Amino acid sequence: MIDKKPSHKGKKVRVTFEVPESVAEQSVAVVGEFNEWSLEKDKMKLDSKKGVWTKSKLLDPGASYQFRYFVDGIRWHNDETADGYVSNEYFSENCLLNV
């Protein structure tokens, strides 16, 4: 799930990414154009009360970003609530986020 809310000053949008706990055993990272596709910068935290892995980022309104989730350090996972999908050079698809 992806939740988008304007920041308090309205200059950025707080985007919260959530992945069901059942998707991963050990770790999830949100990886995309907003963090240079880094596997390390945006590791998600497990919220066991809600049963989700979660990570929030402040992003520029009006921008679009490609992203995916990297799960357990071995596989990619897409978000079914993404704003769209685009083909990538690995014969797969990246998620599209419109802020």
Digit-coded pLDDT (tens) for 68-92: 999 999 999 999 999 999 999 989 9
d(CA 34, CA 3): 16
Q: Where are the domains of the chain?
A: 2-98
Structure tokens at 71: 């799960």
pLDDT for position 93: 97
User: What is the mean pLDDT for each group of 10 consecutive residues in the chain (99 residues)?
Assistant: 89 96 97 97 96 97 97 97 95 96
Q: Please name the amino acid found at residue 97.
A: L
The CATH number of 2-98 is 2.60.40.10
